[in-house]
Amino acid sequence: MPDSTFDKAGVLEQSLVHHRSGDLDGAREGYLEVLLKEPNNPVALNLLGTLDAQLGNLDDAERLIRRAISFAPKEGVYYTNLAGVLQQQERFQEAIQTYHLALKLEPDQPEVLNNFGALLLQAGRPQEAEEHFRKVLESRPDSPEAHNNLGRALNNQRKYEEALVAFEDAVRLDPEFAAAHNNLGHVNRALGRNTTAAARFQEAIRLDEDLADAYQNLGTIYLAQNMPEEAVECFEEAARREPEKASIFIDLGVALHGLGKLGEAVNAYRKAVERDENNPYAFMNLGIVLYERRNLKAAETALARALVLKPDLIDAAAELAGLLDEMGRLDDMEKVIEKGLQANPRHARLNLEAAKLDRRQGRVPQAIKRLTQFDLKAVDQRLAQELRYELGRLYDRAGESDLAWLHAGEANKLAAAGWRAFKVDTERLPKRLRALQAFCADTDLTKLPRAPAADTAAPVFLVGFPASGSDFVSEALHMHAGLQTLDEAPTLSAVEQALSAMPEGYPAAIANLDIDAIAYQRDEYWRIVNRLLKRKPGSLLVDHHPMRAVHAALAWRLFPEAKFIYVQRHPADLCVASFMQNYAMNDTNAHFLAMDTTVTILELAWHTWQAAVRALDLDVHVVRFERLAQNPGAEIAGVCEFLDLEPDDASMGFVDDTVSGKRITRSSFRQLADPLDAHMHERWPDYRLQLSRFMDRLMPLAREMGYEFD
């Protein structure tokens, strides 16, 4: 028999007080006390179920609320609570059916309509959600929450102006409604009003400093405004507040990528993958950065995973196609392109990769037609830049030099306007080159005490100028059993920085290095090499970095017995190639965005190198691009002879395979391998008109390098 002395109503009332105040343990104790006396009490079962739902114990919550319904099948609120649990479990169809049952019992109940609308939004049915929120407003026109929810439903239908009104009504009714301010930012951003959107996001943060979504949204505005450093700060704040949200780390990775912090970007994307292993965008962005870091195999794995998760993610297909092109796997590239274009034949980025493949295979008119179908003013700035660079190459190949120059110039303008260009220092390199040139001219380093030869053989420095052909030489030498190459690594950077920190600065400090200091800096050089490259016992290191020619004095001071391979090219061709090349943005490459600064850097780099050659007893072998293009085997054999090595089958086989097209591992090698690019070593005459303003500077350079300039 029921205990007549037990105050069930009082216990339940007190338990509710505990529940509403956040004392969940006190509430649970009371509910269990009632159920101990009355195991089938529907009120206690329902309330205990809602408490478990709050704690994330969803299976227990569902079981308890279903029991409550079995004893009180006419209580609409129980169905509402059950629907909420099902919604948390993402069992959307069951939740929708349960809300329908709740509305049959309690028609037009605002709480039910509101919760049902929220579910419909989550389930991707915003039009139905809108209907429910409008019904809520009929009975509660002054509810800021209802106006905010209506705005969300309208926003999800891209009814931005109507959504704007709804969110403004919400903040008018409650000026401190942070989520509504955040949503106003969403809508203004969608309408292209980024300044207003940023102000709304900032107001949301002021009202609720724990609102991670507002920090993330503000970060996206900063990204759009070419302010990646500010964006990083916002995304990091968002991640501190919501550390398990994958999309925050994706956005953080994008911002870090924009700043050129590729290692940190990789870490951010890996965190996104850890938090959501089924997020195709996390894998795609990870693949893009790994590709840029030259980790090609890992990049391929990430991009392929993105396409498994979302086969219609054509952006990932385009990136994978570009990667396969880089790896020389043109058959695989063609398959990826064909499949992607079947899904979206007007995808500009994938058509760009298809055009590159067309060019590789000699279909230049088809490639031009493929790219000129797009309005270059209507696509994303970065993509427009890449499309124009490729059109420049295509028109160059087609012999239409005016159009080639036009597109390359427009591409360079877009690159100069990008956020990465804002982060470079264009004054540093010319200043450093002038200082190095003067140092070599004014300082007699040969009279200084020379460090004794080390036990480890000195490195060979493979230098020149960007677009000179040194990449090909590096790869061919790397194939040789007795050699290892390290490409564009910061091997001398730490030494340069250490000398820059000295009172006299760099390069003056080179002259003040004593024997012990030289030994220390030499060890520092090898520490960096060994960190970046697993050395083959007995192999000779080839340290390849084209612009390192200007640091020949430093390299010689550390390694007086070092050999230098200088890859040289006609200066007019160098300038044309550099101007038309889509380089990654940095302090050096930023100068190639305009012909005037391209010529200036070439002049300074050449004269700095020549000053070092005149001042120092350098052991130099010159490789000419023009001879390399005509007879690569003979040139590589000459380099091997200079290094006291016999050409081996691996290095000569690489040359033969590259020339025949069997082995093309980098796009830059194709200009040597593809017969259609045979004009590459004499392309400058096609651009006489464009170069006319610079001839008085290029002619002396050409003669100094031993070229005729008719």
More confident residue, 679 or 385: 385
Most confident of 438-452, 614-628, 665-679: 614-628
Residues 567 and 668 sit within 8 Å (Cβ to Cβ): no
pLDDT the model gives residue 313: 96
Nearest to 147 by CA among 180, 193, 118, 122: 180
Nearest to 171 by CA among 158, 160, 185: 185
* Range list of β-strands (E), 545-656: 563-568, 619-624
Mean pLDDT to the nearest integer, 62-80 = 81
Q: How far is CA 238 from CA 209, 210, 231, in A?
A: 10, 8, 11
Provide the 10 A C-beta neighbour count for residue 198: 21
**Residue 613 identity:** V
- pLDDT over 70 (residue 680): no
Nearest to 681 by CA among 521, 567, 554: 567
Residues 427 and 493 sit within 8 Å (Cβ to Cβ): no
38 beta partners? none
Q: What is the number of alpha carbons within 13 Å of residue 677 lying toward its C-beta?
A: 20
Q: Is the peptide bond before 571 cis (omega within 30 degrees of 0)?
A: no
Mean pLDDT to the nearest integer, 691-702 = 95
**Residue 656 identity:** D
Please state whether the predicted TM-score (pTM) of the whole model is above 0.85: no
- pLDDT over 60 (residue 50): yes
Mean pLDDT to the nearest integer, 138-147 = 85
> Across all residues in the chain, what is the average pLDDT?
89
Q: How far is CA 530 from CA 263, 509, 516, in A?
A: 19, 25, 21
Residues 168 and 155 sit within 8 Å (Cβ to Cβ): no
59: which 2 tokens? Answer: 């299976």
Distance CA 678, CA 526 (A): 39
Nearest to 61 by CA among 33, 31, 37: 31
624 beta partners? 568
Q: Which residue has the tokens 């000026």?
A: 175
Mean pLDDT to the nearest integer, 8-30 = 84
- pLDDT over 80 (residue 518): yes
Nearest to 232 by CA among 184, 264, 205, 279: 264
Q: What is the DSSP letter of 555?
A: H
Residues 547 and 588 sit within 8 Å (Cβ to Cβ): yes
Which positions ≥6 away from 20 have C-beta within 8 Å?
Answer: none
**Residue 445 identity:** L
Q: How far is CA 235 from CA 216, 259, 588, 624, 683, in A?
A: 5, 14, 30, 49, 47
- pLDDT over 60 (residue 663): no
pLDDT the model gives residue 640: 96
- pLDDT over 70 (residue 1): no
Confidence of residue 177 (pLDDT cuts 50, 70, 90): very high
Residue-wise pLDDT for 522-580, tens only, equals: 999 999 999 999 999 989 999 999 999 999 999 999 999 999 999 999 999 999 999 99
Confidence of residue 57 (pLDDT cuts 50, 70, 90): confident
Mean pLDDT to the nearest integer, 396-414 = 96
Most confident of 247-251, 342-346, 456-460: 247-251
Residue-wise pLDDT for 110-119, tens only, equals: 676 777 777 7
> Phi first, then psi: what are they for 540, rounded to 5°?
-95, 135
Most confident of 121-130, 392-401, 654-663: 392-401
> Phi first, then psi: what are they for 490, rounded to 5°?
-80, 50
pLDDT the model gives residue 460: 98
More confident residue, 473 or 81: 473
Q: What is the number of alpha carbons within 13 Å of residue 252 lying toward its C-beta?
A: 26
602: which 2 tokens? Answer: 């070439």
More confident residue, 674 or 121: 121
Question: What's the burial of 559, exposed, middle or buried (CB within 10 Å: 0-12/13-18/19+)?
Answer: buried
Mean pLDDT to the nearest integer, 190-209 = 95
Helix (H) or strand (E) holding 103: helix 92-105
Nearest to 680 by CA among 688, 669, 689: 669
- pLDDT over 90 (residue 105): no
Q: What is the number of alpha carbons within 13 Å of residue 144 lying toward its C-beta?
A: 14
Return the minimum-mean-pLDDT range out of 81-95, 147-161, 311-325: 81-95
Confidence of residue 668 (pLDDT cuts 50, 70, 90): very low
- pLDDT over 80 (residue 661): no
Distance CA 238, CA 213 (A): 7
- Cα R_g (the chain), whole angstroms: 34
pLDDT the model gives residue 145: 87
418: which 2 tokens? Answer: 């990008």
Sheet with strand 460-463: strands edge to edge: 483-487, 540-544, 460-463, 563-568, 619-624
pLDDT the model gives residue 681: 60
